[in-house]
Amino acid sequence: MSQSKLEEDFAFQIKASGLPAPEREYRFMTTRRFRFDFCWPAFRVVVEIEGGAWMRGRHTRGSGFERDCEKYAEALIAGWSVLRVTGAMVEDGRAINYLTQILEMKGL
C-alpha cells in the first residue's frame, strides 16, 4: 500500500524524535481488513492520519466515514488507544507531541 506524503513526514518525525519505530499498515483484526497507519502493538497505541479533511476525501464522505468510525469503535473495544490527527497537526508538530505524551503515559 502506498504511503502519503503526510505519512512519510510523520514517519520522519517519529525517527527524529527517537521514538520506537512503529509497524506500518498494521492489521489489527483477523476478521476484517482494517489497518492502522502507525502502530505500536506493545503499547496498544495507534495513530491514524486523517488526510483529505478539507477536500472531501474518502474519510470525510458517507461510507468511508462510516467504515472509519466502525474501525475506531472496534479498536477501542479491543483496548487500543487511537490518536487521530490531521495533516495540519502533522505539519505543525502537534501530532508528534501528542504521540510522545501518549507513549510516555503507556510506560515508554
Q: What is the pLDDT of residue 31?
A: 82
pLDDT reading at 55 higher than 90: no
* Contact present, 35 and 2 (Cβ < 8 Å): no
As a whole number, the mean pLDDT across the chain is: 88
| Spatial CA neighbour of 79 closest among 48, 106, 58 | 106
Rounded distance between C-alpha atoms, residue 63 and residue 78, angstroms: 23
Calpha distance 46→80 (Å, rounded): 7
- pLDDT tens column, 2-42: 568 999 999 999 999 999 999 999 998 778 888 999 999 99
* pTM of the predicted model over 0.85: no
Alpha helices in 25-93 (DSSP H): 62-77, 87-91
